[in-house]
Structure 1
Amino acid sequence: MTAATNARPDTFEMVFVHNAFRQQFGAMPGLIRGVADGDRDRASVVVGFFTEMTRSLHHHHEAEDDLMWPLLLQRAPMDSALILRMEEQHERIAELYRCAERSAVTFAERADPVSREQWAANLDELIDALTEHLHDEEVEVLPLVEKVLTVPEWEALGERGRAGIPKDRLLVFLGFLLQANTPEHGRDFLGRMPPPARLAWAVLGRRSFRKEYRRVYGVDPS
């Protein structure tokens, strides 16, 4: 066998993405509770950010549902209970973010204390479920992926996830990814990108991300 045949997936990028989900969803209850009573303009900004994050999470999970779980069930039948648990967690998380989306619509319309606390409470529940799932996936699933999936299969999963992000938001999302990870891991991540993408980040991306971060958080990114 050649070295290419023996190559196994590098799951670094999955953890990199997970860290961004942890950080952004984790910050949302504070953003929600920071909206002043009656400030529907600010409520709309926070709701818009939440909607974009949940859409990104949906595409991330949909790619796993279509491209990862079936292959793992086929190639690692002894771990079927684990894979089925992961699928159930996806279903639970989807239920929770759909519930939170309904609360978000109400809050955008009212920006009042009752709808604020209802939405924040929904987010707290979603964050708990998402945190558990991301941990389980990293600790139990990614080592399995490295054993039984091929590099092209793993790369197809990443390509599918990126395809779910609108092209005009790719650089902004890259900023949120980099901001949620260590500088060392960020340099590693950028080093794996094609030169044109790195140039686009250097020339346009940093400025676009800082502008978006200030709009959402009211401060410059650290």
Structure 2
Amino acid sequence: MRQYQVVDAALQATERRTALWRASATAEDRDALADTIDRMLPPLAEHLDSEEKRVLSLIDRYLTADEWAEVGNKGLGDVPRAKIPVLFGMMLRDASDDHRALFKEAVTPPVFAVMSRVGPIVLKRYQRKVFAAR
């Protein structure tokens, strides 16, 4: 439970800093936002590592591929269409061979064929844009 509180506080701080930076667009607010995000990363990584060890093993054991695909499809419904290639790139970048195979199974073949090629390219472009601002 403590992990959730720490991550939630870090996300709220990031949202506040983002609003300040958007309003001012100053280098000072940009750098403060970047520092806030940098401080958020260790607790977030700890939480995600913990979830991956505990939750993904349960998903692998108790959900069918179709049920897991349904979860993913519901999540994709909230992602703006223009961001989907970036998301695909992120998901594929660090995926193990097993997770990549599950992902491929959950997505229609034409979509996977296109996104597995386009996603990494769009992700690199997005990363250059984001990190060039620092």
TM-score class, shorter-chain normalisation, is 0.5 to 0.7
Residue number in structure 2 paired with 1:112: 27
Counterpart of 1:188 (choices 97, 101, 107) is 101
Task: Please list every run of 5 or more consecutive structure 1 residues that lacks an aligned counterpart in the other structure.
Answer: 1-84
1:144 and 2:58 correspond:
yes
Residue number in structure 2 paired with 1:93: 7
- Percentage identity across paired residues of the two chains: 22
Residue deviations 1:69-100 (CA, integer Å, cap 9, x gap): xxxxxxxxxxxxxxxx3xx6345423321211
Aligned length: 129
Distance 2:42 2:16 in 1: 19
Query: For 1:214, what is the secondary structure of its paired residue?
Result: helix
Pick 1 or 2: higher relative contact order, CA cutoff 8 A, min separation 6: 1
Q: Is the 8 A contact 2:7 2:44 kept in 1?
A: yes
Residue number in structure 2 paired with 1:42: none
Distance 1:119 1:198 in 2: 34
Counterpart of 1:198 (choices 112, 117, 125) is 112
RMSD: 3.2
Structure whose alpha-carbon radius of gyration is higher:
1
Q: Is the 8 A contact 2:21 2:30 kept in 1?
A: yes
Q: Is the 8 A contact 2:88 2:116 kept in 1?
A: no
Distance 1:91 1:156, change over 3 A: farther
Distance 1:92 1:171, change over 3 A: same
Q: What is the one-letter code of the residue matched to 2:75?
A: G
TM-score (norm 2): 0.67
TM-score (norm 1): 0.45
Distance 1:144 1:210, change over 3 A: closer
